[in-house]
Amino acid sequence: MFRAPIRRMATAARQSLKIGLIPADGIGKEVIPAAKKVLEAIGSDIPKPEFVPLLAGWEVFQRTGSALPEETVEALKECDGALFGAVSSPTRRVTGYSSPIVALRKELDLYANVRPVVSVAANPGDKPAIDLVVVRENTECLYVKQEQIVSTENGREARATRLITERASRRIGKMAFELALGRPRKQVTIIHKSNVLSLTDGLFRETVRAVPRLAEVNGRYDSVKIEEQIVDSAVYRLFREPQIYDVMVAPNLYGDILSDAAAALVGSLGLVPSVNASDKFVMGEPVHGSAPDIEGKGIANPLAAIRSSALMLRFLGYPAPADRIDRAVDQVIREGEVLTPDLGGKSSTQDVLDAVLKKL
């Protein structure tokens, strides 16, 4: 079972939890309401949830000219946590548009994207065959979106700036080590390509490796084993022997690719949750995209969004209700009678939601 970092964000005694809901585009508008229903069904295990509907996404941009309204950002600053659905970013360049999820990560300093990838064992007491966590730095790398077109005598050249800083690498490294402390194997694998990108990936690698030697941690991570892997080799070994990995920590782009690839090992992107976290705020987000091919058909898999709500609760300091949600999802998957088409079933989004609520 996934555990949030030992130094999870503090939650004082309160009467309610204010949760921002941002369905955004595509099937986000179908799976986030399902996650909301599950949180409502938890009952007294958490403070009464108060939901705040918020806008963001490509469709909002087309209507208003802004993919991330300032009202949404300001409202989130008053929330305890949030759930984000999916965004339909165009593949072509559109003047004035940028991804709202990337912008939110910067606006709220959500520096860590944490993506557990866990297979469901055939029997409740069995150890899962795949149990790893991808910890992705969330604020820099190529995602700083500093690109330009330059005209040369050989035609146009497109150039992009890749940013890796010591500060960001250090804090994502600390997040990875904290996560490893709460896991049986206590292993962190640093993913990089410093054999080619010796300065940028070299700085990331060296900074993360140095985290256990920081004076402020004072031997805290002495029990954590450090491994490292070149990113292309890591992808190969991820498919051949995923059991060698425990906590994988990577720069933004590599983490994005690795976590999507890892989802194939457990059956579907529709099963894999994530959170975007700072030291003060957490936003759950299913790993899957907006899936426009199935939008509105009622067959989107809500389990990743439901698991993301559980992951959000863990980071808010409520592990017991999160365990209840995960156990209910595991039971539904294990029984295999109510599954959406991406998992080989014929059930609807509502069918799967009803099955999870019944298990709760």
Measured CA to CA, the distance from residue 6 to residue 29 in angstroms comes to: 33
Q: Which residues of the chain form beta strands (DSSP E)?
A: 16-24, 48-53, 81-86, 112-118, 131-137, 147-152, 155-160, 187-192, 225-230, 247-250, 275-277, 282-284
Q: What is the DSSP string of 53-71?
A: E---SHHHHHHHS-SS-HH
Catalytic residue among 109, 260, 279, 354: 260
20, 29 in Cβ contact below 8 A? no
Catalytic residue among 25, 111, 193, 342: 193
Catalytic residue among 80, 131, 246, 256: 256
Catalytic residue among 48, 145, 232, 236: 232
Q: Catalytic site residue 143?
A: yes
Catalytic residue among 111, 143, 245, 254: 143
Measured CA to CA, the distance from residue 190 to residue 173 in angstroms comes to: 9
Q: Catalytic site residue 174?
A: no
Q: Catalytic site residue 45?
A: no
Q: Catalytic site residue 97?
A: no
Q: Catalytic site residue 111?
A: no
Residue 106: Cβ-neighbour burial (10 angstroms; 0-12, 13-18, 19+): middle
Cα dist. 227→128, 132, 179 in Å? 22, 14, 15
What's the alpha-carbon Rg for the chain, to the nearest Å? 20
Active site residues: 143, 193, 232, 256, 260
